[in-house]
Each structure stands twice: as C-alpha cells, then as structure tokens.
Chains A and B, each alone.
With several copies, the nearest count.
Chain A
Amino acid sequence: MTPRTTAKERRTRTRPPGPDTGHRLGLLKEMLRIRRFEERCVEMYSAGEIRGFVHLCIGEEAVSVGVHQALTPEDAVVTTYREHGHALARGIPAEAVFAEMLGRMTGCSRGRGGSMHLFDADRRFYGGHGIVAGGLPVAAGLALADLLREREQLVCCLFGDGAVAEGEFHETANLAALWDLPLLLVCENNLYAMGTPLAREHAQVDLAARAASYGMVAWAVDGMDVLAVERAARRAAQAVRAGSGPYFLELRTYRFRAHSMYDPDLYRDKAEIERWKQRDPITLLTERMRTENGFDDTSVELLEKEVAEELDRAVEQARQGGLEPAEDLLRFVHSPARGTS
C-alpha cells in the first residue's frame, strides 16, 4: 500500500502557511518530544523496567499534535491503548506517563493502568482504552452530557482503522449523528489492525465515506502533515462546537514500529515501511521550515537538546516514584464514599 492523496489533501497541502514560525516550532518540538519519549520507552522496555503491552505511535505524531491544537481544556479526550502521544500532547507531564509505565504511585493512573490506560481527570483525559472501540460509546456519553448541559465544548474520540469494523463504532456513529452530539471522531488510519491490512478488515476501505453514510461530515486528511491535520481539526472542532453534530476525520498515517513490543512484524513489506518513512511527519515539517521559516541544523539541535533535557529529568523523577503497597490493592474498587467489596 502507498499513501493515497485526496482532493482535500492536495487542497490543504497547497494552502499558504497559515501558522507562524513560533507556532510551527511548537508543533515540531511536540512531535519530537513524543518521538524521543517513545524511544526512551523502548529502551526502558528492553531493560525490563516497563512491562506489559506497549504500543508505540512513532510515525503517527502528527495526529496527536495536530488534533490537540484544536482542543481546549474544557474538551474531553477518549483514546486507545496507543495513546502516549495523545497523553503528552494533552499536557500530561512526561514524568507522570513514565511513572505510570514504571508502575509507580506517581503515575497518572497510580500505576494501575500502565501504558494502555493513561488517565488524567483534571485534563479530562479519559483513557487509555484496551478494548478496541470500547471507548467510543463512553465518548458519546461524555458528549451527551455536554449537549444536555448546553456547554460549548466537545469530546474528541480517537481510535484506529480496525475499530471501525466493530459494532460499537456503528452504534456510536449512529447515536452521535442521530442526537447531534458534540463529538469529534478521529480515526487514526495506519492501514493495519495488528497484522491485518485495511483491505482485509473492510469491504469499503474509504473510511471517511463510510462515516459519511451516517449523515455526518467526514474528511480524509494526510495524517503525516501536521499542518493539514491541525487545519482540518480546527475547522471540524469549530463546527462541532457550533452545534453541527459529530464530525469524522480519517487521518491517513502509518506506524513505523510493530503493533506492540511483542510483535515481530512479519506481515508488512519492508519496502512499504521505507516508503512511508519518506513521509516522516517530523522530517516533513522540518524540511518545510527550512525552506519557509529559515530553519537550520542548529535550530534542530537546540530542539533536540531541550527535549532531551526534559526527558532526562522526567525519567529521573519517574524512577523516584514510590510503589503502591500491596495492602492498597483493593483501594478504588469503589469510591471512598463507600467501602470496598
């Protein structure tokens, strides 16, 4: 498979650079931050410090960073187990995410969730869901609450291409469109559901067209171009806030790594991976900033340095975090208001 480009994509690509240098610098740094964060995860996983399932979004950083530009603190976010990038882009401190993966009490889920279940209620980041498509109905409910309270905020629900095959996608899409819920549905189409390519998952591989059949606005966007993602997300979010009902964004992207750290990745053609790496979202923006924003090697080195310093500190802090005593195992099975059991 090679990246397809739609009219929409071409249009957005040929737009004049809206955002200024400072803004682009921010986008680039955030993508770099996520990339380097996950590279640390790989090291710590290999060292046995991080365990369980770990799903990397390396290659998909433009999705997290681009989409989150359109969100406000009042908005809510629901995502999948492949959510490190979304968590960081949402503003959850890197040390809290590292700590979570290290199983520390200082982790953003007190070490109970691990890589797949990052939460931060204060930032309205509601997971980190491990059951494919399981977060979609919950996101619809969060949006229903906004609707009933007539709040001008939205719920952004991110999920993969594979999730679209689940009944829960269908039920949620219908419910959202039927009730005009303020829901921004973002499909991270990385062309594979584990080892299964899109064409073996879906009879109709044009996922945006599929979503449109529920009577909602749906766009396919180049998920490797962070500026295109941001533009589409902002436009969609604006409409959703204004009461348009749900929008669907299909962000066409690719994961450069295996499905999870367990995955030997025997099912993808290496040439295909290489082709997609040519469209690395970080490289794409860097190159563009070189030509359009007078960006140069030293600027890159500077960014790398800042990111490295932050992550060094974050890892350090995370490792300081204490372990929840086993006696507290049953804590939070129920709310404090009533005892456990």
Chain B
Amino acid sequence: MTTRKAATGKAVTYREAVREALREALVADERVFLMGEDVGRYGGALGVSLGLLDEFGPARIRDTPLSESAFVGAGIGAAIAGLRPIVEIMTVNFSLLALDQILNNAATLLHMSGGQVAVPLVIRMSTGAGRQLAAQHSHSLEGYYAHIPGIRVLAPATLEDARYMLAPALSDPDPVVIFEHGSLYNVSGTLPPDTGPVDIDRAAVRRPGTDISLITHGGSLGKALQAAEQLAADHIDAEVVDLRTLRPLDDATVTGSVRRTHRAVVIDEGWRTCGLSAEITARITEQAFYDLDAPVERVCGAEVPVPYARQLEEAALPQPADIVAAARRAVG
C-alpha cells in the first residue's frame, strides 16, 4: 500500500516504519521520550516499540500503569516543561478515559493562558476495526479529535507517512494526535530512501482521476484504491484523495479535486452521524456547491457497536463494493 511502486528502498512494514520514526526522533532530540502502557518491556501492545527499551533505557521508554488520564496529563505537563513527550495510548478505544485531559488541558491551555502555556505533545494511538475485536475494541473516533480546536490530527495511511509524519508532528509547537489504523501495521512495501519530513498541511491525491473523487483516510485508503480499480474496469476514472491531516483539513486539495470531478464519495470507517464524513460532505457542498453534479455520497461504518462475528463485522464496515456502488450512484 505504498504510493511509490519504485523498489529502490528496503522492504519494511508499517510497524517498522513507525518504529524507525520513533528511533530517529529519540536519537535526534534528547528531550523526546516515549511513554505509555507496555511500550517498554512488552514492546508495545502492537509491537511498535519492540527493542526501543534496550536501546534507550527505561527513563525514555517509560512503561506506565493503567492510568490513561494520568499519563496523558503527565505528557501535557512534561511538554509544558519543555520536553517532547510522545504518549502512546494503546488504542483509541481507551482514549476516552483521557479525553478530558486532551480537550480541556492539552488543546486549551495555550489560549486560556493568553498564549503563555504551549503544549508540544504528540499522542499516538491505534484505531479502527477489522480484526473481530468486538464493540469495545473496534472504534474509529477520529471525528471526536478532529472536532477540537487547538490540536492537529494526523492519519498516516502509507509507509512514507508512517515513517515521516512523526518528525513534523514533533516540531509542531502544539498538541498533535496521530491515528495509526490497526490493519496497517503488517502492511509492507518498499520505502524510498529518506525523502525527509512530509508536509503535514496537505492532503494527497493517491490516484489521479477525472470522473469522481473518493475521499478517505487511514485504514480505508486501501479500500478506496481497490474500489477505484474496480470502477476503472467499467470506465469510471476515480480520483482517490487521502486526507492525511484530519485537522486542520486541507480544503484546497479536497475541493480542488471535486471541482475537477464534479462528484464525490466520502469514505470513513467511523460512525456516519456527526462524524468526520459529515464535515467533509458539508465542506464540499459549502465550497463546491455549484460544481457538484450529484449529492456527495457517504460510505461509513454502520451505526452499531461493531460485533464480533465475522459476517456481522464485515457488514458493519465500509467495503470496496459499497464504495463502488456509491460511486455508481453518484455518476448515475
């Protein structure tokens, strides 16, 4: 699922790309440290930080108790004091326990203090469903975080972004939340030689097209690209836009694409109502109303706690076939 097929670089997994980004950050800046449940001895619930404890020691690869609110808040305090903490919340499902700290402190202190208290904190968490983990372990709550003024929200969907988004996130003077979709960690591909930090203000067109815009992010990018291939088969040339940055949204790239294609399908694994897909849809119609030839279509997670049983989980999540169907409706 890398964008460049060029095999000049070495083969890596998404997991390794994130790990490499962490290692680079820890080497480059001694103010950086990683903190979270089982990031050390265990190597990270999803194996991302495996080996980092041996390399950097327990002070900088810091295992925390099961206390999401306290260790996220501690990350905020450490950032205020001038360090550059990277806090890992095992999964977005547990992040609700820290949401008060993120919304009422991390995102708020700078403004509420009249510009005195900046919080250069990076929070990483995995997100999404697809592994039959049932209702309490399958959330996609990116929309909750994209709702909060004062923070930046990133969703690396490719190996390059997994590898190169962390550095710019760490150089952001304000809080950044990074969502890594659980289904991506084992994706592997070849990473081109260091292209340097990526531009985290821009969405990316992952597949150019002329007939319709498929707008998505994170774990759904692959599905959108699959759908685009299927659509190509019946001569519908779909453009696939990867939002990459969920806050602030890159309106120019999204609207620009829709202005060219005149049609759009928004794909989001999260629940439909009041989710990220609603905002994208609203913005497109606000900004490209007179360019639209059809209402914007949404393909989202069903409004249901994600069930365990495979056939039910599959039915609850956006599938390429759903995207294809929506695109056909839009093209009419």
Contacts and interface: CB of A to CB of B under 8 A. Distances in A.
Interface string A115-151: 0110111000011111111101111111111101000
A137 B73 contact: yes
A194 B38 contact: yes
B307 A329 contact: yes
A272 interface: no
Given A133-B66, A333-B110, A326 B116 contact: no
A5 to B, nearest CB: 26
Contacts of B33: 148
Given A126-B117, A136-B73, A202-B65, A51 B310 contact: yes
Interface residues of B, number: 74
Interface stretch (A103-111, A220-228, A282-290): A103-111
B133 interface: yes
A132 B89 CA distance: 13
A162 B66 contact: yes
Interface string A183-225: 0000000000111100011100000000000000000000000
Nearest to B96: A131
A144 B131 CA distance: 36
Interface string B129-162: 0011111110000000000011000000000000
B136 A130 contact: yes
Interface residues of A, number: 77
Contacts of B109: 126-127
Given A52-B132, A145-B77, A201 B66 contact: yes
A134 B101 contact: yes
B41 interface: yes
Contacts of A270: none
Given A140-B70, A326-B312, A117 B65 contact: no
Interface stretch (A20-28, A167-175, A239-247, A311-319): A167-175
B308 A145 contact: no
Nearest to A102: B309
B303 interface: yes
A334 interface: yes
Contact of A116 (B75, B113, B118, B136): B136
B76 interface: yes
B312 A329 contact: yes
Interface string A81-123: 0000000000000000000000110011111111011011100
Contacts of B78: 141-142, 144-145, 148
A180 B298 CA distance: 51
Given A119-B114, A196-B41, A341 B303 contact: yes
B173 interface: yes
B186 interface: no
Interface string A150-177: 0000010000001101111001101100
Contact of B115 (A53, A130, A201, A331): A331
Contacts of B80: 126, 138, 141-142
A47 interface: no
A278 B107 CA distance: 44
B309 A131 contact: no
A46 B169 CA distance: 40
Contact of A113 (B40, B113, B316): B113
B134 A130 contact: yes
Contacts of B38: 194-196
B113 A127 contact: yes
A112 B69 contact: no
Contacts of B248: 341
A332 B308 contact: no
B79 interface: yes
A178 B67 CA distance: 12
Given A116-B137, A193-B65, A195-B38, 11 more contacts: A137-B71, A138-B80, A140-B70, A142-B81, A168-B69, A171-B71, A194-B38, A196-B63, A196-B65, A330-B304, A334-B110
Closest A-B pairs by Cβ, 3 of them: A141-B77, A137-B73, A195-B42
Interface of A: 51-53, 76, 78, 103-104, 107-114, 116-117, 119-121, 126-134, 136-146, 148, 155, 162-163, 165-168, 171-172, 174-175, 178, 193-196, 200-202, 263, 266-267, 323-326, 329-335, 337-338, 341
